[in-house]
Chains A and B, each alone.
Chain A
Amino acid sequence: MTVKSVVMDEKGIDRSIVRLSHEIIERNKGIVNLVIIGVKTRGEYLARRIATQIKNLEEANIPCGFIDITLYRDDLQTRSLEHPELKGTEIQFDITDKHVILVDDVLYTGRTTRAALDELVDLGRPASIQLAVLIDRGHRELPIRADYVGKNVPTSVGEQIKVLLKEIDGKDEVLLVDVG
């Protein structure tokens, strides 16, 4: 595994979070009925950062929850790898009639997003679901697109995007690495 380039540094991630937060407020004309839900693991920390940013901009708290999509994966029964560890969904509010901003680090095949959408509709009936991602690397396998994108990064299938976040990785950085 070799690092090909640094896609974003700490400053770049910060700026993206600020811009995404502004876009979310702008598109929704404020934060009425808005909730943020991060997809575990790294989407959780990005969701927290966006929620904090929006709070600073609008001077009001915005409900923030986290979703673990493991139980909704479409490859649990087909792949021979170990089952992933369950991290648990933590959403302490009702999402029915809310505008949900779903936050993830990387949008790739779209399968994680599909699983998250299925889980969200089992939890309630949101007024709308919008998708915010830090990186969109292309190669979709499902008809899914993001409403808010930090950065579009053209990649090949043999490459991987590694998002490192201070909360669990000790530093903020997005790397393009070669796994081929």
Chain B
Amino acid sequence: MSLTSRHLLGLYNVPKEDIGKILDSASSFKEVLDRPIKKVPTLQGKTIVNLFFESSTRTRISFELAQRRLSADIVNFAASTSSLSKGETFKDTARNIEAMKIDMVVVRHQSAGAPQFLSRIVDANVINAGDGRHEHPTQALLDMYTLREKFGTLKGLRVCIVGDILHSRVALSNIYGLKTMGAEVSLCGPATMIPREIDKLGVQVYHRIEDVIPNVDALNVLRIQLERQEGGHFPSIREYHNYFGVTRERLEKAEKPITILHPGPINRDVELSADVADSEHSVILQQVLNGVAVRMAILYLLSQSN
């Protein structure tokens, strides 16, 4: 059982069978996380580099836990503490990694396409942990795993991604992955934050959260990236919350409970009200646990195709 590609650069054009294999394998790893000793010797002797050009806490910790629980040896590069801040080029960094006989590279970079570039110059398996506004495939896979765990299947499931689609790599990966698995995907957010022509990907676009809520099974609420709002895409945080905030009052308009996902970290009472984030229909903390299992599955499946 292997994937069709040696790398996981994004979910664009990744076949249904591959996504299925990752999600199926993740269940086995989730069982490992329930054991008294949460570790298996599967990747003993493999060396993995975590190359983070952009700051990250949860994705990096999740990857690191997944790697340790598979018994891999790991090395962490953070842009702020390495020679990258001394002016070394990306290509030279990559070549140095290659010279150190690394088996796999997990990369996060502020530029779209960086992981793909890396995959062309190094021999190791490359996993994209987020590149610019492009893709964040492992996040989308853990979202899909969490939805499948809750609903049994993704086929026909109605999922709406709410918020800042323009700056979001999570949204794009989710759109590709969910569409491949047969889900119905819609988007909702201010017109300034929804890329033009994104409906060509086969998604329905809404600009009023009230129009979405009666017609979905799950909402994947994106974080409003406060650090990227210099462009003035909406007048104020308060106004965003008033128009697009996912609140209990709005959710109560639906006939049945709606499952709430969020990639974290949450801005409480901005995109999501605090009581909804902590409600029984929120699967936000399951997403965190599933993230480790899904990343273990990806590492396991890619580790063979050397």
Contact = CB atoms under 8 A, between A and B. Distances in A.
Interface of A: 68, 71-72, 76-77, 82-90, 118-119, 122-124
Given A71-B32, A88-B27, A88-B31, A83 B300 contact: yes
Interface in B253-273: none
B44 interface: yes
Nearest to B296: A71
Interface stretch (B10-18, B34-42, B127-135, B283-291): B34-42
A123 B35 CA distance: 6
B304 A83 contact: yes
Given A76-B304, A122-B35, A123-B36, A86 B28 contact: yes
A86 B1 CA distance: 9
19 contacts: A68-B28, A71-B28, A71-B32, A71-B42, A71-B300, A72-B40, A72-B41, A82-B1, A83-B303, A85-B1, A85-B24, A86-B24, A87-B28, A88-B27, A90-B31, A118-B41, A122-B35, A122-B36, A122-B37
B24 A83 contact: no
Given A71-B40, A86-B300, 20 more contacts: A71-B32, A71-B41, A71-B42, A72-B40, A72-B42, A76-B303, A83-B300, A83-B303, A85-B25, A86-B25, A86-B28, A86-B29, A87-B28, A88-B27, A89-B32, A90-B31, A122-B35, A122-B39, A123-B35, A123-B37
Contacts of B304: 76, 82-83
Contact of B2 (A71, A82, A88, A124): A82
Nearest to A88: B28
Contacts of B87: none
B170 interface: no
Contact of A77 (B28, B37, B43): B43
B60 interface: no
B301 interface: yes
Contacts of A87: 28
A114 to B, nearest CB: 11
A90 B300 CA distance: 20
Interface residues of B, number: 24
- Of B25, B28, B46, most buried by chain A (CB within 10 Å of CB) is B28
A84 B2 CA distance: 8
B235 interface: no
- Of A71, A88, A89, A122, most buried by chain B (CB within 10 Å of CB) is A71
Contacts of B36: 122-124
B45 interface: yes
Contacts of A118: 41
A84 B31 contact: no
B1 A84 contact: yes
A122 B27 CA distance: 19
A48 to B, nearest CB: 19
Contacts of B303: 76-77, 83
Contacts of B32: 71, 89
Contacts of B2: 82-83
Interface string B129-146: 000000000000000000
Contacts of A83: 1-2, 300-301, 303-304
Contacts of A90: 31
B123 to A, nearest CB: 16
- Of A83, A87, A122, most buried by chain B (CB within 10 Å of CB) is A83
Nearest to B46: A77
B102 to A, nearest CB: 14
Nearest to B40: A71
B137 to A, nearest CB: 19
A138 B69 CA distance: 34
Contacts of B40: 71-72, 119, 122
